[in-house]
Structure 1
Amino acid sequence: MVRNSVNKVYRCIRSSFIDQGFNHPFILIEEITHELLKIEKDSYERIIRMMSHEVNNSVGAIGSTLNVVADIFKQDGSNKWEYVLPAIEASFDRCGHLASFISNLAQVIRIPEPTFSLISLNEQARSVYSLTSIECRQRNIELSLSLTDNDQYIHVDGIQFEQVLVNIIKNAYEAIGENGRIKISTHHSPLSIIIEDNGPRISEEAKQKLFTPFFTTKSSGQGIGLMFVREVLTNHRCRFSLSTEEGYTRFKIFFPTADGIYS
């Protein structure tokens, strides 16, 4: 099994046949990306549905009980429960965070089919630049924009695709932390958009697992962002890659033309 940098998976088999008494070896290379992604998606969808059902039922009941207990303590009028109330409030907040975590997981399997329309690639880049520039400025990260002179229109779901780009840039500035550079560039030939940063490089081990469900290199990460990115880009029939080249980590997205061909 071989996985390359553009998220394609191949099965390689070495075999041989006998012809006129001579052994003829050959290597069969078969792409199985689609089959594996379907099996993978079916698996994590079942897990997420089960988790959502169990956790939401428990969290709802626990949250209601904590509210009742907190109200009883507050109405008591004495100060003997003061030390307990902060713990109850923290537990209630924790229930909310857990419900939010499960909700974020569930959103990955509820991504609707894209509603395609023609959108300017440069305008999409400008919009994402505006959305993320404040956060970058607060981190002292230089966010720059380089647009192709020959603007092109891409056939995408504008809302979904904008969220994809925001997630990619968010990953970039979180990886950098502070004091770095992020560049958004659009290209005419091939028709593509590239987001690059000078943050930590991606290790070879991580590269093989980048788009695996729930895999993350962040200590507090959930491994959901790249799942969403992969699902949306796959639904858009875009080719994409994430790798470190020449000291920069680059996320490249290539768009098919109207006839399905990549320029």
Structure 2
Amino acid sequence: MKLRTKYIFFVVTLHLVTLVLSYFIFSANKIFFIISEVFVIISIVVSIQLYRQLIRPLKLLMQGVDAIRDRDFNVKFLFTGKHEMDELIRVYNHMIDELRKERTRQEQQHFFLEKLIHTSPTGIIILDYNGHIQQINPKAKQLLAVDAGVHDLPLSNALSQYIYLLKSGETITVKPDGVNTYKLQKSHFIDRGFPRHFIMIEELTAEILAAEKHVYGKVIRMMAHEVNNTIGPVNSIIQSTLQAVPLSIPLKDALQVALDRNQNLNLFMRNFADLVKLPQVNKKQVDLHKLVKDVCILMKMKSEEHEVELIIAIPEKPFYISADEQQLEQALINIVKNAIEAVEEKGRVTFTLNGRQLIITDTGKGITTPQQELLFTPFFSTKKDGQGIGLMLVREILVNHGFEFSLKTVAERQTEFVINFG
């Protein structure tokens, strides 16, 4: 029963009882009876006034409660001129003003955070209480190759596998495809008293490549300077000695070997110097099918030496891409050379197209997990006498073109070098 109903019931009952008692007590004395009736009437009037003064604030309070329940913070009340009522209205209006300001501030903060998450260059994934994806920003979608509305990360994505293994508060740096480097961080925040996790994916590839290039470029220039300063005079002395002084055959052969070795060392340093001084990319329309065919012709003798078959499984029609033909040809030569050398016995190197992706597959022994993490690292090579120049050159050329690429073993005897021309 509502308070208003209780009040009315109490007042009506009280006055009815009073009227009945007045009738029985003062019925013999009409003057006292009339006086008692007047008091009852006055009491009724006072009760009505009290009702209005007590119930109106309650009505206002209920209207305010309804407005707050509906999250309508624009409802305010006018002052009535009555002290108690005005004090209540003043407190309520102040509370509504503060609530409205707080809601506006929270909405602005929420909008700012949404905008910040959406435009962030860092991939951000916000999980719900059950660990499913509730929100994922565009950068994370791009890195993980997922669409909007996805609830769980695809296990087929190498980066997703590392994310699933992340523990709260943990930060790791991974190189899932041997090319791109990512920093993964998992943390949590409290939402309604319960923890919710979020994951941040920061792509470090560009920064690391730039830092590596700066460092090894400086080292190579210093080495080239010192080697050239040494080799020139030494070669001059050896050549003069060979021409001017009668020497025994063994000594003459030894000096010739030293001279040849110096020439090889000079060529070795020139290769490194060329890596640092790659010319600006000059893009134009290039027929990829023709380019692959030309590369296979160039590498035919080497493939026959290793008994490796080069297979072009690309449609016999022009497929144009925007690239620097000479640089891309050099990159493909290095890729094919590595693929041929990776095949230890009779095998195949196959060229296929998947959309705008060129896939070069070899049947070699594959790449181990430790090797995968070191691929494209300066001076790293899986070959015994390798210099680590080939993949570095490939990386520089493809990065300068803006092409995405990866090198990994996808199955036994199936290693793929994928170039995405966008």
TM-score (norm 1): 0.88
Matches within 5 A, 1:70-219: 70-73=242-245, 76=246, 81-148=248-315, 151-187=318-354, 189=355, 191-219=356-384
Deviations 1:3-30 (A, max 9, x none): 1216211112234446677655533221
Say yes or no: does 1:54 pair with 2:226: yes
Aligned pairs, number? 249
Q: Which has the higher strand share?
A: 1
Deviations 1:18-59 (A, max 9, x none): 667765553322111111111111111110010010011001
What is the rounded CA distance, in whole Å, between the counterparts of 2:265 and 2:371 in structure 1?
27
User: Alignment partner of 1:223: what SS?
Assistant: coil
Deviations 1:155-210 (A, max 9, x none): 000111111111111111122244221112233x2x02111111121111101111
TM-score (norm 2): 0.56
Aligned residues: CA RMSD: 1.8
Q: 2:386 aligns with which of 218, 221, 230?
A: 221
Q: 2:236 aligns with which of 64, 72, 91?
A: 64
Say yes or no: does 1:10 pair with 2:185: no
User: Alignment partner of 1:114: what SS?
Assistant: coil
Matches within 5 A, 1:225-244: 225-244=390-409
Quote the sequence identity (%): 38
What is the rounded CA distance, in whole Å, between the counterparts of 1:13 and 1:32 in structure 2?
13
Give the corresponding residue for 1:250. Answer: 416
What is the rounded CA distance, in whole Å, between the counterparts of 2:249 and 2:199 in structure 1?
72
Amino acid of the structure 1 residue aligned with 2:386: G
Moved more, 159-168 or 2-11: 2-11
CA 1:220–1:181: 2 relative to 1, 3 Å: same
Amino acid of the structure 2 residue aligned with 1:123: K
Amino acid of the structure 1 residue aligned with 2:289: N
User: Alignment partner of 2:263: what SS?
Assistant: helix
Amino acid of the structure 1 residue aligned with 2:229: N
Moved more, 44-53 or 170-179: 170-179
Higher RCO, Cα 8 Å, sep 6+? 1
User: Which consecutive residues of structure 2, in runs of 5 or more, have no partner in the other structure?
Assistant: 1-172
What is the rounded CA distance, in whole Å, between the counterparts of 1:184 and 1:205 in structure 2?
26
User: Which consecutive residues of structure 1, in runs of 5 or more, have no partner in the other structure?
Assistant: 257-263
What is the rounded CA distance, in whole Å, between the counterparts of 1:201 and 1:62 in structure 2?
43
Q: Which has the higher helix share?
A: 2
Q: What is the Cα deviation at residue 138 of structure 1? A: 2.9
Give the corresponding residue for 1:261. Answer: none
CA 1:186–1:128: 2 relative to 1, 3 Å: farther
